[in-house]
Structure 1
Amino acid sequence: MSIPHSKRICQIIKLKPSAVDEYKTIHAAVWPGVLAALKRAHIVDYSINYYPPLQLLIATMKYTGSDYEGDMKKVAEDPETQKWWAVTDGMQESFVEGATGSGKDIPWWTEVEEVFRFEGVSQ
């Protein structure tokens, strides 16, 4: 079911092979403060999938607010989220040239273009 006025986002990043188990473990119990920051930023239906042959993490989410850039800035300023990123960024390798970590001017995760969507309703 589609949420009215939502923006769908898909992002990718590489997971270091040595960090697979730790990454899965930490995401099995995401810190409540991190989840609260996402909720305040109007992020819903957020998931991260892993594709081992390419060591690829694929994140999908919906944004239901009206100021995506502003809300993402608030997430980046959240102290609990900054601590979370200090742990998780070290497990990842960005595809973005010049990226140094989450929440910076240069994006850490690569946003990918949506080329098809079917929401179960024919035209």
Structure 2
Amino acid sequence: MQKINPQKVSKPVGSLIGLKPEYEERYIILHKNTFPGVLDRIRKSNIRNYSIFLLDGILFSHFEYIGNDFVADMKAIADPVTKDWWKLTDPMQEPLPARKKGEWWAEMDLLLCFGENPKSYLKANRFAYTAEIKRGLEKVVKNIFSNFDERLKALFVKANIHNHIVYCKNSKLYVYFEYTGNDFSNDDKELNSKPMVEKFNSELGKNLKTQWQQMKEVFHTD
């Protein structure tokens, strides 16, 4: 579980932090046995659909905030039970050098969010992917996502992909989405065969240094 910077209201919220390699197994086991009091505090602070993903020593978290006072709700998370939880998790984590003042987890920039369906995550398969942007092309990539039009969005939703969210931090993209269909492989193949999607993927791909890599979900609470 993360300490969240209460200075900025954002829905959804995506953040990053490092995980020391010697603690990976312990961290995963610990999050499979999260303190009930911590989970209760998360809900009381109006956080829903909270997932943490892991790949190559980087933790990527995504959640949705549904309350009306983000600052107050985030401050309230630091109750005695959660502070005890942080005593276990903090030594395992390694904050990113590029984080803002006061942050433990580094909050990311939101580039794209569509296909919102507040109930979809209750029966969805959750996915997260990451890719690195070529040096100096961050603005180009951000512009590509800013031009992601309604026709493209409709194709993704038709393929049973909801809550499709793209974040950016330190020249890396992090994508989160929920799949609510029955055959992801087939729906994904059909989606990527659409001319508009092929064109988008080609344009984006020219600016990426690496291929997309899937991350492993290590924590989730509705």
Question: Which TM bucket (shorter chain)?
Answer: 0.7 to 0.9
Structure 1 unaligned residues grouped into runs of 5+: 1-5, 100-104
Measure the CA separation in 2 of the matches of 1:97 and 1:106: 12
Question: Which AA in structure 2 matches 1:84?
Answer: W
On the 8 A contact 1:44/1:63 being kept in 2, the answer is: yes
| Aligned-pair CA distance for 1:7 | 1.4
1:25 to 2:37 alignment: no
Q: Which runs of 4+ in 1 moved over 2 A?
A: 96-99
Structure 2 unaligned residues grouped into runs of 5+: 1-9, 117-152, 155-222
TM (normalized to structure 2)?
0.46
Shifted more, 111-120 versus 39-48: the winner is 111-120
Measure the CA separation in 2 of the matches of 1:80 and 1:96: 28
Measure the CA separation in 2 of the matches of 1:20 and 1:65: 32
TM (normalized to structure 1)?
0.82
TM-aligned CA distance change 1:98 to 1:111, over 3 Å: closer
| Aligned-pair CA distance for 1:98 | 8.7
Question: Which AA in structure 2 matches 1:106?
Answer: G
Measure the CA separation in 2 of the matches of 1:66 and 1:107: 22
- 1:34-73 deviation line (CA, Å, top 9, x unaligned): 0001010000000000012xx1000000000011111110
Shifted more, 88-97 versus 32-41: the winner is 88-97
On the 8 A contact 1:46/1:59 being kept in 2, the answer is: yes
| Aligned-pair CA distance for 1:116 | 1.7
2:50 counterpart residue number: 46
Measure the CA separation in 2 of the matches of 1:25 and 1:63: 26
| Aligned-pair CA distance for 1:118 | 2.9
- 1:69-120 deviation line (CA, Å, top 9, x unaligned): 11110102x1000000011010000015699xxxxx8110000011122317
- SS of the counterpart of 2:12? strand
Q: How does 1:85-104 map to 2 (within 5 A)?
A: 85-96=86-97
Higher strand share: 2
Measure the CA separation in 1 of the matches of 2:103 and 2:72: 15
1:114 counterpart residue number: 110
1:102 counterpart residue number: none
Aligned residues: CA RMSD: 2.3
Measure the CA separation in 2 of the matches of 1:118 and 1:34: 29
Specify the structure having the higher radius of gyration (Cα): 2
| Aligned-pair CA distance for 1:19 | 0.4
